[in-house]
Amino acid sequence: MSDIWHQQTLRLRPRSRGFHLVTDEITSQLDALPQIGVGLAHIHILHTSASLTINENADPDVRHDFETHFTRNVPEDTRLYRHTLEGTDDMTSHIKASLLGSSITVPIRSGRLALGTWQGIYLCEHRNSGGSRSLIITLHGRSA
């Protein structure tokens, strides 16, 4: 067995505002993942108006409820914020991204991300139309 370090930048396809499951889109692009028997995947989004989280992957109502919660708790009211250069969703997107975070770490087991049965990786797109998003993913572990 040997140590493996692999770092890769991925682009996710553009999505509209909301909470989107991207687990399969990420894993399909990770060439070195099958080579790792045990390790960690660190996934970092290179943007300040979108975020990453892990949560329920089966019921689409969860994604709807997430969006409803964040819209109510961080309203797009330009009277509340100074930083609105790119529109009413500018500062609110930064706040939401800070609340959820820019990175996640997932265990790797037998060449696969070791997520729970009902877990998936979400791209949390906080802009009305954020464009494609870049991720830098660092894999570290022992060979399979």
Q: Which CATH number is 45's domain given?
A: 2.60.120.460
Domain of residue 130 covers 3-143
Structural domains in the chain (count): 1
Which portions of the chain are predicted below pLDDT 50? none
DSSP secondary structure string for all residues of the chain: --EEEEEEEEEEPP-EEEEEE-HHHHHTT-TTGGGEEEEEEEEEE--SSEEEEEEE-S-HHHHHHHHHHHHHHS---TTS-S--TT-TTHHHHHHHHHHH-SEEEEEEETTEE---TTEEEEEEEEEEE---EEEEEEEEEEE-
**Confidence (pLDDT) at 144:** 78
Q: What is the pTM of this model?
A: 0.95
